[in-house]
Amino acid sequence: MQAIILAAGMGRRLGDLTKGHTKCMVEVNGTTLIDRAILQLSKLKLNRLIIVVGYKGKELKEYIGNRYDDILKIEYVENPIYDKTNNIYSLALAKEMLCQDDTILLESDLIFDDSILEELINHPDPNLALVAKYETWMDGTMVRIDQERNIVNFVPKAAFRYEDVSVYYKTVNIYKFSKEFARTEYVPFLDAYSKVMGNNEYYEQVLRVITMVHNSSLKALDIKDKKWYEIDDIQDLDIASALFAEHDVKYGEYHKRYGGYWRFPSLLDYCYLVNPFFPPKRMIDEMHSNFEILLRNYPSGQWVNSLLAAKYFGVRQEYIAVGNGAAELIKSFAETHAADRIGVIYPTFDEYPNRLTGADIVPFISDKKDFRYDADDLMDFYADKNIDLLLLVNPDNPSGNFITIDNVIKLAAWCKDKGIFILVDESFVDFSEGFRNNSLLHNEILESFPNLSVMKSISKSYGVPGLRLGVFASSSQATIAQMKKDVAIWNINSFAEFYMQIYGKYEADYHKACVKFAAERDRFFCRLQEIPYLHVMPSQANYFLCEITERFTSTELTRILLDHDVLISNCGRKKNMAGKNLIRLAVRSAQDNDRLIEILKSL
């Protein structure tokens, strides 16, 4: 068995990273792609490795040097016209070698798990194309396969159809060819194809022709959940760096992104908090059917969008402002109160204290079990503290503590009597028991307490974080006017605006989703209690704060779970957590939650 690596290309899309050397000399987490590939191949006891070089070939050969002589014999093939040809010509230059031994063929811009090569070489089929189920990040040649793993068709870019993605597999660009297949099938077709089509083509086009006109012995092998990535540009490099990061940096690589996890389809995100049961498919279909018109038109300004939000929540238009997510509104609100003395209940949503950099924060930290507190606790603590503003996240993030609406109104009245403004963030209130009666977003409540402001993220309980929607409400029209003036004229996009426009048709579905969610939260709570090293705190939100009581620190468990493609929030890193090892786990679908339980049990 031998291996051939195609490494003649110029890698233009990587920009400055390939000006002085080849694409395979680009580093991922401190190791070049070529070093990683050679070390992986050296474990297979190959007879030789052939590297086809072209662009910066001299530099690549000098870089490799003699470092691997004691573990792997390396030979080179030169492509002198790499800038005028494509990889079909590079492989054609090595066609005689291809026919001399069974071959692993791979491209030089890949990073992949060691187990992929082990599975390839140990599989009994002599001729294999490694494939992976289509995911949104994938580009290039796709294939369709039948139940016997025969490749029915190679699908080039020009023939790609998004409506067929459910049956597509992406070629991983790693193959195993027997010397018989190379000699009797591949190379003859390669010669014929090159004569007709020229040398500025791709070697996979030859495989496409073989499957079309010949009963080929080539089979597909699905690598399933094994990790791999093809690095064509700087974003690919960034994603690969996160996927293949070591323990100490992996958590940071994911968290610095603040989302965008669709690029990591195997990742179970137990960090970010959304409703898994809304919006319904029919609502998504309606948005999808209007995609083009929404894409091609400007959204409305704040006047129309505040009108839509007023209809959404049943309050007066002049009492509400719409934000690009609650985060935009939090920033605006925090800047207005930068010089105030602000009561903050810890632990809390870090976005608030992070934004209140100039304010004098007066912290409240509950001394009750599980960080519980009620309105009386807050009133007793702040009775002599001389604060200008009290910040209440209800239900609390991350503790899940919940104060009933009667007691929140009692607290607002107390603040009113003392001349204190109160901001209640109720982004998670629709997850609470009796949610239909727990919101402060009512004209009568807002009008009774001009010192009261209400913040609400639409991302969380409505399950649409990609739309970036949030609202801020107050009967203080001066406050609302200032908020609207502070945000950009087009601060939300047409998709978010259209979502608010059609929401009313799906409100009954939303209520059903919240009921369904509460049932799953109760079930998940019971299942989490099966984990002997976790103390699970009751919650009225869509997450549980858990104390790790033995065996792991919060940092250790967070890193271990990330090795299982599970991302959680390490709350042991937060301020004022009493030195406890705490993690926060979102509530997802029953299938996902059961998978997490099995992983936790397996540790």
CATH code of the region 249-276+510-602: 3.90.1150.10
Q: What is the pLDDT of residues 9-66, one digit of tens each?
A: 988 888 888 888 899 999 999 999 999 999 999 999 999 999 999 999 999 999 999 9
- Are 127 and 217 in contact by the 8 Å Cβ rule? The answer is yes
Place of tokens 């976005």: 351
For 323, how many CA atoms within 13 A lie in the half-sphere containing its CB? 24
Can you read off the two tokens belonging to residue 290?
Answer: 């209007």
Q: List, as one string, the DSSP characters of 181-232.
A: HIIIIIHHHHHHHHHHH-SSS-HHHHHHHHHHHS----EEEE-TT--EEE--
Residue type, 100: Q
137 band by pLDDT with thresholds 50, 70 and 90: confident
- Measured between alpha carbons, how far is residue 106 from residues 6, 38, 109, 182 in Å? 7, 11, 9, 15
Q: Which fold would CATH assign to domain 281-508?
A: Aspartate Aminotransferase; domain 2 (3.40.640)
Alpha helix positions (H), 368-476? 375-382, 405-417, 443-448, 459-462
Q: What are phi and psi of 596, to 5 degrees?
A: -60, -40
Average pLDDT for the chain: 94
pLDDT, residue 227, reads 94
CATH number, domain 2-240, options 3.30.365.10, 3.40.50.300, 3.90.550.10, 3.30.499.10: 3.90.550.10
578 band by pLDDT with thresholds 50, 70 and 90: low
Closest CA to 177 of 146, 210, 144: 210
Q: Which has the minimum average pLDDT: 283-292, 293-302, 348-357?
A: 348-357
pLDDT, residue 566, reads 96
Number of residues assigned to the chain = 603
Taking the C-alpha atoms of residue 169 and residue 184, their distance in angstroms, rounded to an integer, is 26
* Burial class of residue 361, CB neighbours in 10 A (0-12, 13-18, 19+): middle
Compute how many other C-beta atoms are within 10 angstroms of the C-beta atom of residue 217: 17
- Measured between alpha carbons, how far is residue 358 from residues 37, 191, 335, 340, 351 in Å? 51, 72, 9, 8, 14
pLDDT, residue 599, reads 97
State the average pLDDT over residues 130-153: 91
* Burial class of residue 66, CB neighbours in 10 A (0-12, 13-18, 19+): exposed
Q: Which has the minimum average pLDDT: 147-151, 224-228, 560-564, 572-576?
A: 572-576
Greater model confidence, 247 or 228: 228
Q: How big is the chain by its Cα radius of gyration, in Å?
A: 29
Dihedral angle at the C-alpha atoms of 192, 195, 201, 206, nearest 10 degrees? 0
Can you read off the two tokens belonging to residue 53?
Answer: 């070089």
Enumerate residues 6+ apart whose C-beta is below 8 A from 324: 468, 469, 470, 487, 488, 491, 492
State the average pLDDT over residues 227-253: 89
For 366, how many CA atoms within 13 A lie in the half-sphere containing its CB? 19
Domain map (residue ranges) of the chain: 2-240, 249-276+510-602, 281-508
Taking the C-alpha atoms of residue 113 and residue 484, their distance in angstroms, rounded to an integer, is 51
For 141, how many CA atoms within 13 A lie in the half-sphere containing its CB? 19
Closest CA to 206 of 100, 105, 110: 105
Dihedral angle at the C-alpha atoms of 252, 257, 262, 267, nearest 10 degrees? 10
Greater model confidence, 573 or 144: 144
- Measured between alpha carbons, how far is residue 240 from residues 27, 134, 263, 432, 560 in Å? 10, 17, 10, 39, 19
Equal fold, 249-276+510-602 vs 281-508: no
Q: What is the pLDDT of residues 190-216, one digit of tens each?
A: 999 999 998 988 899 999 999 888 778
Q: What is the pLDDT of residues 493-546, one digit of tens each?
A: 999 999 999 999 999 999 999 999 999 999 999 999 999 999 999 999 999 999
Residue type, 443: N
Taking the C-alpha atoms of residue 117 and residue 532, their distance in angstroms, rounded to an integer, is 38
State the average pLDDT over residues 167-183: 96
pLDDT, residue 435, reads 96
pLDDT, residue 18, reads 84
Q: What are phi and psi of 424, to 5 degrees?
A: -110, 120
Q: What is the pTM for the complete model shown?
A: 0.88
Closest CA to 438 of 405, 473, 394: 405
* Burial class of residue 10, CB neighbours in 10 A (0-12, 13-18, 19+): middle
Strands 421-425 and 389-393: parallel
- Are 283 and 506 in contact by the 8 Å Cβ rule? The answer is yes
Q: Which has the minimum average pLDDT: 53-67, 225-239, 450-464, 572-586?
A: 572-586
Closest CA to 213 of 198, 193, 183: 193
Residue type, 20: G
- Measured between alpha carbons, how far is residue 81 from residues 11, 14, 54, 86, 105 in Å? 15, 20, 7, 9, 21
pLDDT beyond 90 at 250: no
- Are 201 and 195 in contact by the 8 Å Cβ rule? The answer is no
Taking the C-alpha atoms of residue 586 and residue 276, their distance in angstroms, rounded to an integer, is 10
